[in-house]
Structure 1
Amino acid sequence: MSLSPFHLAIPVYDLAAARRFYGEVFGLEEGRSSTQWVDFNFYGHQLVIHEHPRTASQESAHTNPVDGHDVPVPHFGVVLEWSEWEALAERLESLGTRFVIEPHIRFKGQVGEQATMFLLDPCGNALEFKAFKDIDQLFAK
């Protein structure tokens, strides 16, 4: 599967903390930056953190039920290869990451079975990382 990179700009109310989080916790390569924003290579996509006052969703995330868990909305993330997801889950666990939803298998034994985990950045932005053993299940009903 060949995809074009996406560009996502998100608000952060503590630029320094968010910069450390994305750079150190995920080991993302930093691109261009200024005193108010920083570009990161987010698994081949362009993620930009922009300094911005705290938003309502950063204060208290809304959730929707999905397969027995309360999924924070809004959220963003990336679909990784299965082995990459396992390595990231292990890395995050070794760093003592507090998960919103612990790494687990969602829709086990069903169409769309996937590995998933949710966490918050230091500014309350929710991230989801997922993987499929069969990537053809990504949009399966």
Structure 2
Amino acid sequence: MNAFHYAFKVKDIASTRQFYVEILGCPEGRSTEHWIDFDFFGNQLSAHVSSNIPDLDYCGKVDGISVPVPHFGCVLRHEQFVQVQERLTAHNVNFVVKPYTRYEGKTGEQLTMFCLDYSGNPLEFKAFKHEEEMFAS
């Protein structure tokens, strides 16, 4: 099994659980009053409560759009991307970058969207038109 593990800062457990479990549909793993784990599309996220969450830096320039860096997310299948988009929209989550097709008609064509979780962490979701082009140049 190959999966990534990512630990990140959040404001509180309740709003984090609401965003990742109720909105995104991620199964919850272990937790305490200070941290909580999620199955993030087959990967392990560990959210840790902190009072020191850094400001966002929109220094990333991709396809002419400023994106927050750092950010994390997941490459999904097309149908998963649509489901996540629908869930975020149904829960009135604002998009930092609204869903659109990046590199249309070119190698690496993909659907992409950015949002913030309830602690202000930026997430990107992608779905490649042709999965084999994920690392193509």
Q: TM-score, normalised by structure 2?
A: 0.94
**Residues 47-76 of structure 1: per-residue CA shift (max 9 Å, x gap):** 1100112322xx233331111211110000
- Verify: 1:101 aligned to 2:92, yes or no: no
Query: 34-43 vs 85-94, which deviates more?
Result: 85-94
Counterpart of 1:110 in structure 2 is: 106
Give the share of equivalent positions with the same residue, in percent. Answer: 45
In 2: Cα distance, 1:31 partner to 1:130 partner: 24
Point out where structure 1 has 5 or more consecutive residues left out of the alignment: none
In 1: Cα distance, 2:103 partner to 2:52 partner: 34
Please state how far the C-alpha of 1:28 moved relative to its aligned partner: 1.1
- Equivalent AA in structure 2 for residue 37 of structure 1: W
1:75 to 60, 71, 77: 71
In 2: Cα distance, 1:24 partner to 1:90 partner: 13
Stretches of 4+ aligned residues off by more than 3 angstroms: none
Aligned length: 137
Counterpart of 1:20 in structure 2 is: 18
Contact 2:100 2:112 in 1 (8 A): yes
Counterpart of 1:44 in structure 2 is: 42
Query: 84-93 vs 124-133, which deviates more?
Result: 84-93
Counterpart of 2:30 in structure 1 is: 32
Counterpart of 1:92 in structure 2 is: 88
Please state how far the C-alpha of 1:92 moved relative to its aligned partner: 1.4
RMSD, aligned α-carbons: 1.2
**Residues 94-136 of structure 1: per-residue CA shift (max 9 Å, x gap):** 2222000001100111111100000001111100000012111
